[in-house]
Structure 1
Amino acid sequence: MNDMKVRFAPSPTGALHVGNARVALLNWLWARQQDGTFLLRLDDTDQDRSTQAFADDIEADLKWLELDWDEFARQSDRLDRYSQAIERLKTSERLYACYETPEELDLKRKLQLKSGRPPIYDREGLALSAVQQKAYEDECRRPHWRFRLDHAPIGWEDAVRGTQHFEGDKLSDPVLLREDGRPLYTLSSVVDDLELGITHVLRGEDHVANTAVQIQLFKALGGVAPTFAHLPLLTGAQGQGLSKRLGSLSLAQLRQDGLEAMALNAYLARLGTPDPVESGQTPSDLIPGFDISRYGRATPRFDPDELQTLNSRILHEMPFSRIAEWVQQQTGPDFTEDLWLAIRGNLETRKDALTWYRICQDEISPVVEDAAFLETARELLPPLPWDLSTWSIWTQAVKEKTGRKGKALFMPLRLALTGLSSGPELKHLLPLIGYERAAKRLAGQTA
């Protein structure tokens, strides 16, 4: 491996949605393309909302997407590292105590906005004397701690957004430590990125302002900021935002609906680029076409209809080896490769395969529209063994006997044999249905 190292850092506070999956996938593709390292880090310092169940679900979702990780970290295991970083920042006078209550801070923001000023923290905490601090302590106020920003220009070259520029004096000093002593994301993420060797950070554009702050924090902790890339956030087809807490387009729901993981991977890999979507059977198939410079700044919309079309395409190309374990878990070992090859071209989701398995191997109620015609067809069924030529031989005999042709010939046979008016070619299905079932269905019997 080379020196590149990226991370996917979800918080286990809700179900992953397709926007999260996109960030995970693109980080994975970037690392694999550069022969780098992909780290899964659970940002679980929010003890009120983080749960082990959500953490387990995140791992399950990534495994479903076939996005394997090389290293794993959990922020709740690294609290001592954040404490040490906090002490270093206090010693260097880059961290200072603030005693305002949430209500007081809210009032300050409202007054600033009312007077036409930006809602930037006024650094009251930095100006407190020891006597004033003690007075607050005597009131049983517990301080939160803010990082003192340098009021200097902040800039970086973003791999997606290009040149970025912020003025330090236009940003609020961020809170790094809550009143209860818990570190906030701004600090813990930087400490992790430094100590775990992250070289490239690919994440959503909602973190752009965080990045401006974190670049100074990297320097204050004696490190060098990684390369940043900020992607526009996905929206739904109508432009609505996605949310983990609301379960918007959750991966668990898509999986439950029978979506192919590779349909989602292939779709997300090109969403936001001018390049056409390319199907594939494994995430590795997408690596050669990945190019971080192809992702634009326009807001991409996630269209379930486009995803469904791609899902069908991937199923139509899928080898039996990719689906065998799943279908045989549902049906037993008698779901064969011949059956899969016969039906895959007509599937929209993998669940549809179970319908055609039942049609070929289980009982159905035939649809009988002309019993006399079907009885003639039953009498003309060829003897065993049957193969792919049987359908043609049989229907030619029925045509010569009855004079029927086209839809009048084929539709009654399809309805009787499958109970449906459309589906895979019957030359493939007939040998799988077998002589005994076919004869009973043509006679109008459940079989």
Structure 2
Amino acid sequence: MTVTVRFAPSPTGRIHIGNTRTALFNWLFAQKNNGRFIQRFDDTDLERSRKEYADSILYDLHWLGIFPDSIEYQSKRFDVYDQAVEKLKADGLLYPCYETAEELDLRRKIRRTRGLPPVYGREALALTQDEVAQYEQDGRKPHWRFLLPNFVTDPAEPRRTEVHWNDLVRGEETVDLASLSDPVLVREDGTYLYTLPSVVDDIDMGITHVIRGDDHVTNTGVQIALFRALGAEPPVFGHHNLLTTSSGEGLSKRTGALSVESLRESGVEPMAIASLAVLIGTSENVQAMASMAELAGHFDPGSTSKSAAKFDPDELFVLNRALLHHMPFEDVRDRLQLLGIADERADAFWNAVRGNLDKLADARDWWRIVNEGPLEAPELEAEDREFLRQAFDLLPEAPWDDGVWKKWTASIRKATGRKGKELFAPLRLALTGRASGPELAELLPLMGPEGTLARRP
């Protein structure tokens, strides 16, 4: 059996870091088990689904390092769902209901006052032909419910019926089907809700493991019953905890909160997102992983907590810095070229500045400083200005080697008597315009004699 998983978002907005968690859990599980990853779009809601969103999701996944083995669109499979509906109707497991939303709400309130669970009472099963005919004459269209197997002989007398599964993430789980309403699978207008297409596709596509957020735990009891009603054995299920902000706020595609697109545009590296999305809320320490292969080595769905995983978005930038500070030049050469950093000094420049970057684009400012001098004229005390003029007069003659900084500062120390911060701070301001930054011993050879002397106050 080939392990086969799927990531099945609705293309109704940009995916955020929470969606990314689900995609990565599936991708890493497939990678660790030499399996297949199917990208499936739940786009049966033709009014809200957009091709542009599906394309952006694929782009985001590729950027993160996720490459599906196949891409499927539910909007192209309506005939398959129609066949499943006919089978369920023929087996007496899908029945028409004519209640309006207001009528259903009233019935739920009545059941609560009687101390009964606010589930659908299956009143539609008791409708006479005359009552159905009257509804039809009145112009009502039925919605169709799946008859849950939670009774012995009379559907009007449900009894406790437990569905058990060994959850890949949460361990032993149980759902009582008697505590649930028969789910609506087909709306009045003939369109499908999530449940039926999802199960039919999982069967047809040979999905062996369904890994998703724990907001679907209750749905799983229903879906297991539907798998069996359609003559199939259910896959293995796993439900991971959801990501929330540190204040407990949930994430939404529609608001664009922490979307992968916005994080990419703000300079966050893909492995910073992947590392946080996978490791937060698990027994693993959240640390920056340099590659998907390294992250896979730390991925264990069973180590995931049952409580929500709260995170501070600032953690992404902590991981981002850690990644950049250790990233080899070969991994960023092409991206640096796009920033205009492309001559024979690029390698040495990267190794000099990477430890001071919050995001890769910051390297562009340091490149300008190296080549053109401070971005803004530094403010210098009169005493420091006089010191710097004397210091620049002591610059070693060309050609320079890697020891030029040590040689220069030794001459300055001997001539002026300054040392420590009193010596180095004014030099840094004059050379870079900044109070902190990369080691000047590494920057000075990149600036060269002429470029350095041009910064003399």
Q: Same fold (TM over 0.5)?
A: yes
* Contact 1:366-1:441 at 8 Å conserved across structures: no
Q: Which moved more, 1:153-162 or 1:81-90?
A: 153-162
Name 1:392's counterpart in structure 2. Answer: 406
Corresponding residue for residue 362 of structure 2: 352
Evaluate the alpha carbon distance shift between residue 410 and residue 332 of structure 1 in structure 2; reply closer, same or farther with a 3 A threshold.
Answer: closer
Cα distance in 2, alignment partners of residues 175 and 140 from structure 1? 20
2:415 maps to 1:416: no
1:178 counterpart (177, 183, 187): 187
State the TM-score, normalized to the length of structure 2.
Answer: 0.93
Give, in whole Å, the separation in 1 of the partners of 2:377 and 2:406: 21
Cα deviation, residue 296, structure 1: 2.1
Alignment match, 2:452: 438
In 2, are the aligned partners of 1:96 and 1:146 still within 8 Å (CA)?
yes
Contact 1:366/1:418 (8 A) holds in 2:
no
Range with bigger deviation, 206-215 or 154-163: 154-163
SS, match of residue 38 in structure 2: strand
- Alpha-carbon shift at residue 172 of structure 1 (Å): 0.5
1:434 CA displacement: 2.1
TM-superposed CA distance for 1:281, in Å, is: 1.9
Q: Deviations over 1:32-53 (max 9, x none)?
A: 0000101111111112211112
Q: Secondary structure at the match of 1:230?
A: strand
- Structure 1: how far apart are the matches of 2:59 and 2:320? 20
1:83-134 Cα distance to aligned partner (Å, 9 max, x none): 1111111111110111111222222223323443222011122222222211
Q: Does 1:405 align with 2:404?
A: no
Q: CA deviation at 1:246?
A: 1.8
Give 1:387 shift: 2.6
Which residue of 316, 335, 338 corresponds with 1:326? 335
For structure 2, list consecutive stretches of 5 or more residues without a partner in the other structure.
151-160
1:295 aligns with 2:304: yes
Q: Tell me by how many angstroms 1:333 deviates.
A: 2.3
Aligned to 1:76: 75
Q: Please, which runs of 5 or more residues in structure 1 have no aligned partner?
A: none
Indicate yes or no: 2:326 matched with 1:317: yes
Deviations 1:411-430 (A, max 9, x none): 11100110000001001111
Counterpart-to-counterpart distance in 1, 2:149 and 2:2: 30
User: Within 2, Cα distance between the matches of 1:304 and 1:218?
Assistant: 39
Q: Secondary structure at the match of 1:235?
A: strand
Structure 1 residue 250 corresponds to structure 2 residue 249:
no
Q: Is contact 1:160–1:229 with CA below 8 Å preserved after alignment?
A: yes
- Counterpart in the other structure of 1:283: 292
Report the Cα offset of residue 298 of structure 1: 2.0
Residue 86 of structure 2 corresponds to which residue in structure 1?
87
1:211 aligns with 2:210: no
Distance in 1 between the 2:439 and 2:201 partners? 57
May I ask how many residue pairs the two structures share in their alignment? 442
Q: Deviations over 1:135-171 (max 9, x none)?
A: 1111111111110111032111111222222222221
> Tell me, what secondary structure is at the counterpart of 1:154?
strand
Deviation of 1:363 after TM superposition, in Å, equals 4.6
Could you tell me which residue of structure 1 aligns to residue 385 of structure 2? Answer: 371
**In 2, Cα distance between equivalents of 1:180 and 1:436:** 76
- One-letter code of the match for 1:91? A
Q: Which segment drifts farther, 363-372 or 167-176?
A: 363-372
- Distance in 2 between residues matched to 1:114 and 1:322, nearest whole Å: 65
- CA distances 1:237-293 after superposition (whole Å, capped 9, x unpaired): 111111111222211121111111111212222212222234322212111222222
Q: 1:119 to 1:362 in 2, by over 3 A?
A: farther
1:24-63 alignment runs, 5 A limit? 24-63=23-62
Distance 1:153 1:422 in 2: 64
Q: TM-score, normalised by structure 1?
A: 0.95
Residues 202-241 of structure 1 show CA distances to partners (whole Å, capped at 9, x for unaligned) of 1011111111000010011111100001112111111111
CA RMSD of aligned residues (A): 1.5
**Aligned counterparts of 1:234 and 1:256: Cα–Cα separation in 2:** 21
Identity percentage over the alignment? 49
CA distance in 1, matches of 2:371, 2:55: 37
1:366–1:415 CA contact under 8 A, matched in 2: no
**1:441 positional shift:** 1.1
